[in-house]
Amino acid sequence: MNNEMVRIKAENVNFYYGQKQALKNISLDVYQNKVTALIGPSGCGKSTFIRLLNRMNDLVPRTRVEGNIFLDNVDINRGQIDVVDLRRRVGMVFQKPNPFPKSIFENLNYGLKVNGCKNRAEREKKIISALQKAALWQEVKDRLNESALGLSGGQQQRLCIARCLAVNPEVILFDEPCASLDPISTRYIEELILELKRDYTIVIVTHNMQQAARISDFTAFLYLGELIEFGLTEKIFTVPTQKMTEEYLSGKFG
Ligand SMILES: Nc1ncnc2c1ncn2[C@@H]1O[C@H](COP(=O)(O)OP(=O)(O)OP(=O)(O)O)[C@@H](O)[C@H]1O
Ligand SMILES: [Mg+2]
């Protein structure tokens, strides 16, 4: 585990919504080209933590972060960080597919323009490549100018993944990406995530223990804002060191 390259390093992170502390002294490493799963009962702080990694919590008023989060050794909360560029490098896919109410093409074209890709032919190339990587190209290549809202839920989620890939991210954050999908679409996304980890670093929040076991390399178990245990998924699921982890995984609470 120590031979792996650390891409994101959280050190002693506390996070507050107003007076309420949602994360307590979290230290966690995210390894390059690995899938890191965040698990734990509802309200334990999984979404709060994942949103810190690309500063999505900035959008929530009266919040405060303490401690350090490094992306490639640069503290993302200090100094001259360009948040738009941070969110390009650390992309995010949400629980509910959230395509823009625009054409399939425009969903990807927009982010490329915002990120300064001025040449239309170049954008088209990137759009096709992203749709291919997200395993959606075959299904949409004849309807690129139709509304994204006409796609199925699973297709919309793959479109959101493609939108994220189009701007060439390094890390992809998934917050329960399969929560609103049927089992077949879920399997599709899981397989896709396993493909994507060859080129990207992935952090995923999931309520589905089987999913965490199937697709992640590392697992972090959070409870009431604390990191109870972190380690290789195989180890966490077979021989957890904390009694609480074992109880959670065996369904005793949560
Ligand atoms: N915008 C907010 N304002 C105030 N408190 C919040 C806000 N968002 C989350 N919280 C609180 O912070 C704590 C952690 O919430 P968070 O959404 O991170 O949990 P979670 O582990 O993602 O839960 P779930 O599995 O239900 O998605 C909870 O107590 C929640 O009520
Ligand atoms: Mg959540």
- What is each CA distance from 155 to 97, 131, 134, 181, 214, in whole angstroms? 9, 11, 10, 10, 22
Is the pLDDT at 84 greater than 60, yes or no?
Answer: yes
Backbone angles phi, psi at 178, to 5 degrees: -110, 5
- In a domain, residue 136? The reply is no
Which residue minimizes the CA distance to atom 2 of ligand 1?
17
Cβ–ligand 1 distance for 47 under 6 Å, the answer yes
- In a domain, residue 52? The reply is yes
- In a domain, residue 104? The reply is no
- What is each CA distance from 230 to 29, 112, 210, 216, 217, in whole angstroms? 9, 36, 17, 12, 11
Mean pLDDT for the chain overall: 96
Cβ–ligand 1 distance for 239 under 6 Å, the answer no
Query: Closest ligand to 21 CA?
Result: 1
Percentage of residues of the chain with pLDDT beyond 70:
99
Ligand 1 pocket: which of 13, 38, 47, 58 to mutate (most atoms within 8 A of CB): 47
Taking the centre of ligand 1 as the mean of its atom positions, its distance from the CA of residue 48, in whole angstroms, is 6
Q: What is the pLDDT of residues 165-184, one digit of tens each?
A: 999 999 999 999 999 889 99
- In a domain, residue 154? The reply is no
What would the mean pLDDT of 35-64 be, rounded to a whole number? 97
| Ligand 1 atom showing the smallest separation from residue 225 Cα | 14
pLDDT at 171: 98
Is the pLDDT at 254 greater than 80, yes or no?
Answer: no
Cβ–ligand 1 distance for 70 under 6 Å, the answer no
| Ligand 1 atom showing the smallest separation from residue 48 Cα | 18
Is the pLDDT at 102 greater than 70, yes or no?
Answer: yes
- In a domain, residue 144? The reply is no
Cβ–ligand 1 distance for 43 under 6 Å, the answer yes
What would the mean pLDDT of 73-83 be, rounded to a whole number? 93
- In a domain, residue 160? The reply is no
CATH number for position 44: 3.40.50.300
pLDDT at 3: 66
Is the pLDDT at 210 greater than 90, yes or no?
Answer: yes
Helix (H, G, I), strand (E, B) or coil at 244: helix
> 66: domain range?
6-96+169-249
Number of domains in the chain: 1
- In a domain, residue 225? The reply is yes
- In a domain, residue 141? The reply is no
Is the pLDDT at 2 greater than 60, yes or no?
Answer: no
Q: What is the pLDDT of residues 140-159, one digit of tens each?
A: 999 999 999 999 999 999 99
